[in-house]
Amino acid sequence: MNRVELEFKSDPADMEWHEQIATRLLPLPRAAGLADAELTALHVALVEAVNNIIEHAYAMQPGGSIVIQGECKPHELCFALQDEGIPMPLPLPTGELPDLDADGGRGWLIIRHGFPEIRYERRGHSNLLTLCRPLAAGG
């Protein structure tokens, strides 16, 4: 297995996609030999990224398209998240821990813990956020 895909609609009231991430996407890193703790970090990071799409790109409005495509290459595992919401503000957050009294900003720390390499681009009316993690040789 070297590719997976999950497509669903944003709906702040429906959390079924949490389980779909676990059952349909995580077999890819599992097949690459990642340990359970690493799988948990990836799961939490993907959930946080999707939460950000629902909350910020779609402003909590249901019905927005979300597509996640995963690919495992010999030295890298990547998940590309695509949506048609509002563009992300740049530059991307660094993942530094925000001040204790900050209202937000902790999500990027979670995302970057699972995926140290993050790329973003706007393609026409779509956002493409690519989350990558290096793998040991032969992974």
Q: Which amino acid is at 133?
A: R
Q: Which amino acid is at 14?
A: D
Q: Which of 68, 72, 65, 76 shows the shortest CA–CA distance to 129?
A: 68
List the chain pLDDT tens, one digit each, 139 residues: 699 999 999 999 998 999 999 999 999 999 999 999 999 999 999 999 999 999 999 999 999 999 999 999 999 999 999 999 999 988 876 767 666 665 666 788 899 999 999 999 999 999 999 999 999 865 4
Q: Given this model, what pLDDT does residue 108 score?
A: 86
> Whole-model pTM?
0.90
Q: Given this model, what pLDDT does residue 82 score?
A: 98
d(CA 42, CA 62): 25
Who's near 107: CB < 8 A, 6+ residues apart?
A: 48, 51, 52
Q: Given this model, what pLDDT does residue 55 score?
A: 94
Q: Which of 9, 12, 132 shows the shortest CA–CA distance to 72?
A: 132
Is the distance from CB of 79 to CB of 70 less than 8 angstroms?
Answer: yes
CATH code given to domain 3-134: 3.30.565.10
Omega of the bond leading into 93 within 30 degrees of 0 (cis): no
